[in-house]
């Protein structure tokens, strides 16, 4: 006797489909320039992030990578240039608004609430998705309670996904660094992001933690179809993880393409090896 088994292989998606096809432009930055007083942090940079890809931004120290992330998530507003997210040109927006629009991020030096538990920290990631007003949540009955349960379910799925059940109730400040990084990723995921920005997700990690984190990043991308832009210094990790890489140096774009193209780009080699000009 032989039967055909129907495997349920549909991918889970976090955010309701936003109508943008995989591989189409999710975010486009055009001719962006940013300066602080006389210091030019970013000069005339353009690149795009396509839906469903892992996009790396690399460059030596001070190249403007973090500034670029801050521009994308609305923390800085560039003097020149335009940002188009999901087909809409962005006007001057605050970071909280871009968060609501579906851009979530983690930070280079962990920015968690140290006294709060892992669970509570990740729950804060859901705040932008809260539908009921503060008053309802203060009463915590009826609709607010139901909403809370929904959010908690979403958070528990993330805890399961990141394999951090054992630290669910542990205050984050007591956790080792590698786990804190994982909690921070959890909080960013909790916002159901269309675009996830990761600022040096593997800084300060040992080899095993890096391997774990790489696996989680790939799983997020594959399982949930989340588009990811990441800054990372570990070239091995960058080349293995990302679909396309953009290279910055002194605030300018010096390379853009697949890992192989970038690896063989003479300008990039110069910037990294420090060839005298």
**10-39 positions binding another protein, by CB under 8 A:** 11
Q: Pick the binder of another protein from 211, 258, 264, 266 (CB under 8 A).
A: 211
143-161 and 207-224 helices, crossing angle to 10°: 130
Piece in contact with another protein (CB under 8 A), picked from 53-61, 98-106, 162-170, 227-235: 162-170
Q: Pick the binder of another protein from 13, 23, 80, 160 (CB under 8 A).
A: 160
Give the helix/strand (H/E) hosting 178: helix 177-190
Give, as one character, the DSSP assignment of residue 151.
Answer: H
Instruction: Decide: is 185 part of the binding site for another protein (CB under 8 A).
Output: no
CB of 11 or CB of 141, closer to another protein:
11
| SS3 category, 109 | coil
- 28's CB contacts (< 8 A; 6+ apart) are 46, 47, 48, 49, 83, 84, 85
- 222 to 241: interface string for another protein, x by CB under 8 A: xx------------------
Q: Which residues pair with 105 in a beta bridge?
A: 197
CB of 161 or CB of 272, closer to another protein:
161
| SS3 category, 202 | coil
- What is the binding site for another protein (CB under 8 A)? 1-3, 5-9, 11, 152-153, 156-157, 159-161, 163, 165-166, 168-169, 208, 211, 219, 222-223
């Amino acid at each position: 006797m032989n039967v055909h088994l129907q495997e349920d292989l549909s991918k889970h998606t976090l955010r309701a489909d936003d109508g943008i096809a995989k591989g189409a432009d999710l975010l486009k930055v055009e001719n962006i320039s940013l300066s602080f007083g006389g210091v030019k942090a970013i000069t005339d940079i353009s690149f795009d992030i396509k839906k469903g890809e892992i996009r790396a931004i690399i460059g030596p120290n001070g190249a403007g990578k973090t500034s670029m992330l801050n521009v994308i998530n609305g923390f800085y507003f560039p003097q020149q240039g335009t940002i188009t997210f999901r087909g809409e040109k962005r006007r001057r927006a605050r970071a909280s608004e871009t968060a609501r629009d579906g851009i979530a991020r983690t930070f280079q030096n962990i920015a968690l609430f140290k006294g709060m538990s892992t669970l509570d920290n990740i729950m804060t990631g859901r705040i932008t998705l809260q539908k009921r007003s503060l008053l309802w949540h203060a009463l915590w009955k009826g609709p607010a309670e139901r909403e809370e349960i929904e959010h908690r379910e979403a958070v528990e799925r993330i805890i399961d996904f990141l394999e951090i059940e054992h630290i669910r109730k542990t205050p984050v400040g007591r956790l080792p660094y590698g786990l804190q990084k994982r909690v921070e990723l959890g909080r960013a995921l909790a916002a159901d992001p269309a675009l996830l920005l990761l600022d040096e997700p593997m800084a300060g990690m040992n080899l095993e933690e890096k391997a774990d984190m790489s696996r989680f990043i790939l799983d997020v991308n594959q399982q949930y179809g989340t588009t990811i832009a990441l800054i990372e210094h570990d070239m091995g990790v960058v080349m293995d993880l990302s679909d396309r890489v953009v290279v910055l140096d002194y605030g300018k774009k010096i390379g853009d393409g697949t890992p192989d193209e970038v690896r063989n780009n003479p300008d990039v080699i110069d910037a990294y090896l420090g060839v005298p000009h």
